[in-house]
Amino acid sequence: MCMGITVLIPESLIKKAKEKGIAIEDLIIELLTSKLGLDPKEEAELHLELAKRYLREGEGLIDRDPIQASEKLYKVAEECVKAVAKLLRVEDVVKRVRERGRWVLKDLEYVAMISKSKLGESFYIGWDMACFLHVWGFHEAKLDPDSIRSRLPYIKRMVSSVEKLLCGSKA
């Protein structure tokens, strides 16, 4: 279950993070998981928990706020890919993310692409659908609720794929 807390961060730090393209939430999660010494399965479970939260939020926003729904549904896919990176132990990517302090699209795309051999084509298709939502639904604000809803099953399958992978993984 995701809990929310408020953390006061000086505005100058937030500004510098944004200039470098760093998402504060992602950085905090990466730092905490690293400091707590969580194993890859525990880290993947955290990403899955976030994915499920974003899925609930995104589904609830489709008719009211398609732009924000598109962003939330993209975040579902992003968290699923991060979980898969931990579970499949894609160490080169995980190492770069830790050094950089953030995920970049190139890393997410690489993990989604190589995961096809373990999770099947549908995982990668879900990732592609989510990227479409991110660009055309969120950044360009060109999608209506039906266009977003039509991509939802693919993103839900990504969550199911991660759940199945988690059930079969060892710490």
The CATH number covering residue 21 comes to 1.20.120.330
Average pLDDT of adjacent 10-residue blocks, the chain of 171 residues: 78 88 79 86 95 98 98 98 96 90 93 95 98 97 98 98 88 50
Tell me what pLDDT residue 82 has: 97
In a domain, 6, yes or no: no
Q: In a 3-state reduction of DSSP, which class is residue 44?
A: helix
In a domain, 2, yes or no: no
In a domain, 3, yes or no: no
In a domain, 55, yes or no: yes
Distance of CA 152 to the CA centre of its chain: 15
pTM of the model: 0.89
Radius of gyration of the chain (CA): 16
In a domain, 4, yes or no: no
Domains of the chain: total: 1
Tell me which residue of 49, 63, 73, 82 sits closest to 152, measured CA to CA: 73
115 in Cβ contact with 139 (< 8 Å): no
Tell me what pLDDT residue 1 has: 63
In a domain, 51, yes or no: yes
Distance CA 152, CA 11 (A): 36
Q: Residue 120 is part of which domain span? A: 11-167
Tell me what pLDDT residue 99 has: 85
Question: C-alpha distances in angstroms, 68 versus 19, 65, 108, 155?
Answer: 22, 6, 21, 16
Place of tokens 């950089």: 100
In a domain, 1, yes or no: no
Place of tokens 């604000």: 141
In a domain, 5, yes or no: no
